[in-house]
Structure formats: C-alpha cells, structure tokens
Amino acid sequence: MDSLKIALAQLNPTVGDIAGNLEKLRAARKKAAQAGADLVLSTELFISGYQPEDLVMKPAFLAACQKAVEALAADTADGGPGVIVGYPRKGEAGRHNSVAVLDGGEIIAIRDKVDLPNYGEFDEKRVFVPGEMPGPVNFRGVRIGIPICEDIWGDLGVCETLAESGAELLLSPNGSPYYRGKVDVRHQVVLKQVIETGLPLVYLNTLGGQDELVFDGGSFGFNADRTLAFQMPQFVEDVAISEWARGADGWRIVGGKVAALPIGEASDYRACVLGFADYVNKNGFKSVVLGLSGGIDSAICAAIAVDALGAERVHCVMLPYRYTSEESLSDAAACAKALGCRYDVVAIEEPVTGFLSALETMFEGTEEGITEENLQSRTRGTILMAISNKFGAMVVTTGNKSEMSVGYATLYGDMNGGFNPIKDLYKMQVYAVAAWRNTERPEGMYGPEKNAIPQNIIDKTPSAELRPNQTDQDSLPPYPVLDDILECLVEREMSVEAIVARGHDAETVHRIEHLLYIAEYKRRQSAPGVKITRKNFGRDRRYPITNRFRDR
C-alpha cells in the first residue's frame, strides 16, 4: 500500500455503558467507511469507558467487554475498515489495559499497555498488570506501532522499541484529562517521540466528563519532520479522516486540517460546561437546582448549568434572610432573567428563627457568632435538598477553590450538592471566566450570546451576607493575595519561606497554611467537581485529615 486512510474517532464514551459505547464506535466505523477509510482508531479503553477504576476487577465486566470486542471484530468481515479498539482484557498474567486490532472478521492482534501510570489522577498499577514490550502490528501490509497513552509519556522506551522492530508509523490511543495548558504539554511529549523514532505519530485523545475528570479531545498528529500534520478540535466529538502517503522517506500525513483551539478562560469554561453536562446527563438527572445568592460564584454556576443543559432544566432559588441586601435580591433576579431559567424566592427567616428558638435555652448566655451564621447556611442547604428530593433535581454546589482551600464553606449548608462545576477554580479565576463569558458564547451552548451575568455581580465586593455589613475580606486576605498564596501551597508545594520571599506577609502565609490543613475534613465530604488545574483536591492532592505538621 502506498496510501492509507485512517479515521480518528474522537468520541465521548460512558463508563460501564458497554453496549452504548459499542454502538457509538459502530456508527463511527460506518461514517469512516463512507469516507473510504481503511482503518478506524479509537481511544484508550473505549469499550469500557475511561477511567473504569475498580470495575475491571469484576469478571463479569471483563467478560462483557470481551464479548463486545468480538462482536465488533465480526463486523469487520464486511470488507470495510479495520478497527483498533481499546478495552480491559483478562490475560494469563492478569488484567491488562489493551487494544485489539480487528480486520477480516477476526481479532488479528492484541497489544497491552506497558507503562502503567500511578500518579495524580492515575492509579493503574492497582488494577492492571503491565504488558510485554510490543512489536508492530501488520495491518494490510503496513507495520503499525500502537503505544497506549503512558507508553509515549514515560521513559520505558516503548516507541523506540517499536521503531527498532520495524514500525512504519505510530498510532497512540490516549485517555489524557484536561488541565489548563495541557495541549502544549501533549505536543511536546509527542515531538520528543517523533524526534527519537523518526516516525510520524498520531495522538488520539478521548472526550467527555467522567466524575471529576474532563477529557477534552484535541487529538493531533505530527509528521516525521516534526511538522503538525493536523489538529482536531477540543471539547466536541469528531470523526476525522487522516490521509497518508508512502514516499521514499516513509509514511506522511497529507492535507490535514488544523482546528483553532480555545485558550485561557475560554478553554477552562468549556471544560467546566462539558464536565458538568456529562455528570448530569450520564447519571440520569433531568434537571438541576441551585441557590442563586446574587454573588459571583452562584451566578457563574447558573450560567454553566444553562449553557450545559438549557434554561428549561435549571431552577434557581433565592433564599433571603434579614441580612440579604436589596442589591443581592435584584442581582439574583437579573441573573436568572438574563439566563432565562426558572427563578423562585423562598425566605428563610421563619425556619432559622425556629431553629434559634429550639436552641434558645441551650444557647442562653452565649454570644451570637459563627454558629448562628452556619444555621442560615444549613437552612438554605436543607431547603435546596428538599426541593431536590421532591422534584428529582440535582443540587448544584457553588463553592470555589479559594473557599474550599481555607474552609470558607459550611458543611451540610452551602456545601450540599451533587456536583460543583467551579470546585477547581480559584476566586480570581471565577471572575476572569465570568468576564469572558459575558463577551461570547461558545458554539453548542444554550445560554445567551453575551452578558450572561449582570455586571454588578462581577463588580461588587463579595460577601456571604451572614451578618450585617459582612465582606469576605473581613476574615480573609484580599483574593489576589489569597489565591497566590494558595497556588504556591497547593499547586507548587512551596515552603512558607519561599512564599514569603515572593512578598507575602509571614503571619498571613502561616495562617493560610493552617486553614488549608484544618479544612481537609470538609473537603473529604465535599461534592465532586471539574478538575481544571494541575492539582485538584481529591485525586491529585491527598493529605491526611489528622495532621499536626506546620512549616515553621
């Protein structure tokens, strides 16, 4: 063969939906056949969905995945394109993260992932065993190397081995989660392998939200001369046809398209929307409900919900108390109107007064303070959960990463909820994303074209409004200062000494470090949320709750 057409199936599978994933890949193969493709490449563990985690420990699950692969292999007896499909496999040595190459009605080859990642969000050594160092697969006379995800990221020399054993090109199925700037990182990883092997390499990435992770697609290919041959879009499903020609210097991708990719706040926002939409839809929720306070956090969460689901599936509830300002009431109403979603007001004066009355004797002689403030938050949380129970709507929780870091949130109150779309956005990032969303609406989203959030919500001083004239800065440093300290502590694991050297007050840094540690028990009980940064709370950062260490 001197020419080859490979279809790149950048699809959104669902973990555990083996039948649905199989049908999705069958539809992609049909589309590829109509375009004259010879081969369809799917992503890592496509049949099971990624990450399947401990599902792969169930023999019945592995058997169902194997049956689906065999059914797909039988499809290829029709003379159409072959398929490279990822799935979890039970082998003689144990469970493998594998791909099967299907053609002519049969499984013509199997390759197992060699380099199993065991860091950050990855825990594959716990459930899989590594495969043997692979050789290329002969597909219709073309020797194809198939390194699986970490096989091109790590240092075990998998790609080098494939090149030395005769591979003519490399096709790499991946499950690479999003974080800000990840596309550039992937490009550098692939370029390193292209330089070392002298072979063209296709990087196919999966798509979709899976619990806290978002897989953003953004698949691409580099030719052996280090030029970007094609770039697929992020955050959308796509089946692209890559055309290959064999010349004197080997195989080359020709005529590829390079999609423009979102950057900065645009990519973060799209990740939040995709992760939120898939969590709600894949878990079968028909609608969502959230408390709309008139503040920036609940406003951006409402905008994300409407963009992800449509206004008819979003219910906003204002829950005012005696400290709620008229400004907040008008801002919340204006936000709901701009988004076009249902908006109700449920006053909490009576239930809060009821709680205080019930506790009056026990609390006699004590000063009013945090306890009474938390009662307001917990009353709101109880009402939202009651609405959820009655109507089946998932409660959206709305705390940002700055608040989650220092415990500026109330357990069983404003932390109530099923999912948090901004859990991994610091406060200043929330402002930046809100300002960006007011200027444009990404393709495929349901909200207003512009001005999704009233400008006054972005401009005004943030306040929890749990006591008279309260502002967040009464108990926290200014958010630009707080966020920089937190990024140093959480993302970079910097010492207090190094953070102070950046110009921060030592006492403030020590206080924030202390708050970060003592809030760990709250974060363990918080709702899942979209991972946006390199180190989110949960999968990436696992600190003990009981912990007396302080950096002195």
Catalytic residue set: 44, 113, 149
**Is 384 labeled as ligand-binding?**
no
The single-letter code of the amino acid at 172 is S
324 known member of a binding site: no
Is 295 annotated for ligand binding?
Answer: yes
- Enumerate residues 6+ apart whose C-beta is below 8 A from 247: none
Distances (CA, A) of 224 to 193, 199, 228, 549: 10, 5, 10, 50
Query: What single-letter DSSP state applies at residue 530?
Result: -
Distance CA(97)–CA(127), nearest Å, equals: 9
Question: What is the SS3 assignment for 238?
Answer: strand
403 has binding-site annotation: yes
**Nearest of 321, 322, 328, 323 to residue 293 by alpha carbon:** 328
Rounded CA-CA distance 71/105 in Å is: 9
Tell me how far apart the alpha carbons of residues 384 and 438 are, in angstroms, rounded to a whole number. 27
The SS3 of residue 400 is: coil
- The answer on whether 3 is annotated among ligand-binding residues is no
294 carries a ligand binding annotation: yes
374 annotated as a binding-site residue: yes
Q: 106 — phi, psi (to 5°)?
A: -135, 165
- Which pair of tokens denotes residue 222? 């580099």
Any known ligand binding at 176?
yes
119 marked as binding residue: yes
> How far apart, in Å, are the Cα atoms of 268 and each of 210, 223, 304?
16, 29, 11
Strand 288-291 and strand 394-395: the pairing is parallel
Q: Which two tokens stand for residue 394?
A: 């998932």
Are the beta carbons of 244 and 212 closer than 8 angstroms? no
Closest Cα partner for 405 from 537, 545, 529, 546?
A: 537
> What is the phi/psi pair of residue 145, to 5°?
-90, 135
The candidate with the shortest Cα–Cα distance to 47, out of 30, 31, 70, is: 70
Alpha helices in 392-426 (DSSP H): 401-406
Q: Which residue, 455, 438, 456, is CA-closest to 447? A: 438
What residues does 220 pair with on adjacent strands?
A: 203, 231
* Rounded CA separation 99/105 (Å): 16
Q: Look-up: residue for tokens 């169930």?
A: 58
Compute how many other C-beta atoms are within 10 angstroms of the C-beta atom of residue 261.
18
Q: What's the half-sphere exposure (Cβ side, CA atoms, 13 Å) at 314?
A: 30
Q: How far apart are CA 136 and CA 145, in angstroms?
A: 4
Is 533 marked as a binding-site residue? Answer: no
The annotation status of 330 as a binding-site residue, yes or no, is: no
DSSP string, 112-124: E--S---STT--G
Residue 182, annotated ligand binder?
Answer: yes
Q: Answer yes or no: are the C-beta atoms of 108 and 114 closer than 8 Å.
A: no
Secondary element (H or E) of residue 58: none
141: left (phi over 0), alpha (psi -120 to 50) or beta: left
Largest distance between two CA atoms of the chain: 90
User: Is there a binding annotation on residue 321?
Assistant: no
Rounded to 5 degrees, what are φ and ψ at 413? Answer: -125, -105
Q: Which residues are annotated as a binding site?
A: 119, 176, 182, 291-298, 374, 398, 403, 522
Annotated binding site for deamido-NAD(+): 374, 403, 522
Q: Please enumerate, by residue number, every residue annotated as part of a binding site for L-glutamine.
A: 119, 176, 182
Annotated binding-site ranges for ATP: 291-298, 398
